[in-house]
Chains A and B, each alone.
Chain A
Amino acid sequence: MTPPPPPAPPDEALARQLPSPLRRAGSSIAADRTYTGLAVGAAIVAVAFVGYLIWNTVAQTGEVWSTFGVWGFLTGEQWLPTPVSGAPIFGALPFIYGTLMTSILALMIAVPAAIGIALATVVLLPKKLGGPVGTMINLLAAVPSVIFGLWGLTVLVPFLTPALEWLSTTFGGLNIFGWHPFEGPITSGSYLISALVLAVMVLPIITAIIREVLLTVPRDQQEAAYALGATRWEMVRSSMLPWARSGIVGASALGLGRAVGETIAIALLLGNSPGIFTSLVGPGSTLASIIALQTGEASGLQLSALTALAVVLFVLAFGINGLARLVVSRSEGGAARKGGLVSRVVTEIVGLFPRRAPKNVQVSPPLAAGAPPPPPPPRLPVTISGSASLSRSRRVRSRLGEGVVWFSLALGMVPLILVIWEMVRVGLPAISGSFFTELPPTDPSSYAGGISNALVGTLILMGIATLIAAPLGILTALFIRDIARPGTISGKIGSAVGFVVDILLGVPSIVVGLIVYLGVVIVVGHFSAWAGGIALAIIMFPVVVRASDEVLQLVPLAQKEAAMALGAPKWRTTLAIVIPAALPGIITGVLLGVARASGETAPLLFTSLGNQFFSTDLNDPISAIPQLIYQRTIQVATPASLQLAWGAALVLVAIIFILNIGGALISRRSRTLEAR
Chain B
Amino acid sequence: MNRILRNVALLSVAGFSLVGSASAFGKATGSGATFPAIAYQTWCSDSGLCSYTPVGSGSGIKALAAKTVDFGGSDVIMTDAQVATYGGAKVTYIPTLYGAISVPLNVTGVTGNNVKLDGSVVGDIFSGDITAWNDPKIAKTNKGIAFPAGPITVCVRSDASGTSGNFSNYLSKVSASYKKKVSSGGQNQTPAWTAPLVLKSSGNAGVANCVKSNNNSIGYVDLGDAMRAGLTIGVVAVGQNRIVPGKGRVMQYVLPSTKTIQLGGTPTAAQTVKIKAGDLKIDLTASPNSGAYPITTTTFILVRAGMPNNGAVSQVLSYFLGKTAQSKLESLGFVALSGQLRTGANKALGNLS
Contacts and interface: CB of A to CB of B under 8 A. Distances in A.
Interface of A: 80-85, 153, 157-158, 184-185, 187-189, 267, 271-273, 282-283, 285, 293-294, 296-300, 442-445, 456, 459-464, 466-467, 470-471, 474, 525-526, 575, 579-580, 583, 586-587, 590, 594, 609-618, 620-621, 634-638
A294 B58 CA distance: 11
Contacts of B216: 185
11 contacts: A82-B188, A188-B213, A188-B214, A273-B200, A298-B160, A460-B16, A463-B11, A526-B68, A613-B51, A616-B22, A634-B205
Interface in B203-248: 203-206, 208-210, 213-216, 225, 228-230
A444 B53 contact: no
A467 B23 contact: no
Contacts of A635: 34, 202-206
* Interface range for B: 35 or more
A370 B56 CA distance: 71
Nearest to B190: A81
Contact of B24 (A158, A296, A614, A638): A614
A459 B18 contact: yes
A579 B150 CA distance: 68
A82 B200 contact: no
Given A296-B56, A297-B56, A613-B26, A85 B14 contact: no
Contacts of B225: 636
Contacts of A525: 66-68
Contacts of B278: none
Contacts of B11: 462-463, 466, 470, 590, 594
A616 B151 contact: no
Contact of A296 (B42, B59, B181, B214): B59
Nearest to A575: B1
Given A445-B228, A580-B3, A636-B228, A612 B183 contact: no
B142 interface: no
Name the residue among B21, B150, B182, B209 with the largest chain A CB count within 10 angstroms: B209
Contact of B55 (A285, A296, A579, A586): A296
A447 B125 CA distance: 37
A463 B200 contact: no
A297 B159 contact: yes
Interface string B183-195: 1100011111000
B205 A637 contact: yes
B192 A83 contact: yes
Given A84-B180, A442-B42, A621-B53, A614 B23 contact: yes
A470 B181 contact: no
Contacts of B159: 293-294, 296-297
B15 A464 contact: yes
Contacts of B34: 635
Nearest to A464: B15
Nearest to B200: A272
B19 A460 contact: yes
Given A445-B228, A463-B16, A579 B4 contact: yes
A84 B184 contact: yes
A460 B15 contact: yes
B24 A82 contact: no
Interface string B8-30: 10011111101111111110000
Interface of B: 1, 3-4, 7-8, 11-16, 18-26, 34, 38, 41-42, 45, 51-53, 55-56, 58-59, 62-63, 66-68, 81, 150-151, 153, 158-160, 180-184, 188-192, 197-206, 208-210, 213-216, 225, 228-230
Contacts of B51: 611-613
A282 B153 CA distance: 10
Contacts of B210: 188-189
A214 to B, nearest CB: 35
Nearest to A444: B228
A448 to B, nearest CB: 13
B53 A610 contact: yes
B8 A293 contact: no
A293 B158 contact: yes
B228 A638 contact: yes
B62 A616 contact: no
Given A185-B216, A283-B199, A637-B209, A459 B14 contact: yes
Contact of B206 (A273, A612, A637): A637
Nearest to A459: B15
B233 to A, nearest CB: 16
B156 to A, nearest CB: 9
A579 B5 CA distance: 11
Given A282-B197, A467-B8, A637-B205, 5 more contacts: A299-B62, A443-B38, A617-B19, A634-B201, A637-B208
A338 B31 CA distance: 65
Contacts of B58: 297, 299
B90 to A, nearest CB: 21
A636 B201 CA distance: 12
B15 A82 contact: no
Nearest to B17: A463
A636 B222 CA distance: 12
Contacts of B13: 463
A80 B192 contact: yes
A586 B4 contact: yes
Contacts of A285: 200
B222 to A, nearest CB: 12
B228 A185 contact: no
B158 A617 contact: no
B43 to A, nearest CB: 10
A462 B210 CA distance: 34
The 6 closest A-B pairs by CB, nearest first: A463-B15, A635-B203, A272-B200, A526-B68, A188-B213, A297-B58
B23 A81 contact: no
Contact of B183 (A82, A185, A594, A621): A82
Contacts of B20: 616
A445 B13 CA distance: 36
B53 A84 contact: no
A648 B224 CA distance: 25
Contact of B150 (A185, A461, A471, A621): A185
A588 to B, nearest CB: 11
Contact of B202 (A293, A456, A462): A293
A107 to B, nearest CB: 25
Contact of A84 (B8, B181, B199, B206): B181
Nearest to A631: B203
Nearest to A524: B68
B335 to A, nearest CB: 18
Name the residue among A285, A293, A294, A464 with the largest chain B CB count within 10 angstroms: A293
A451 to B, nearest CB: 15
Contacts of B45: 442
Contacts of A615: 23
A337 to B, nearest CB: 41
Contacts of B42: 442-443
Contacts of A157: 213
Nearest to A439: B45
Contacts of A300: 81
A294 B160 contact: yes
A289 B204 CA distance: 18
A671 to B, nearest CB: 18
A615 B114 CA distance: 47
Contacts of B199: 187-189, 271-273, 283
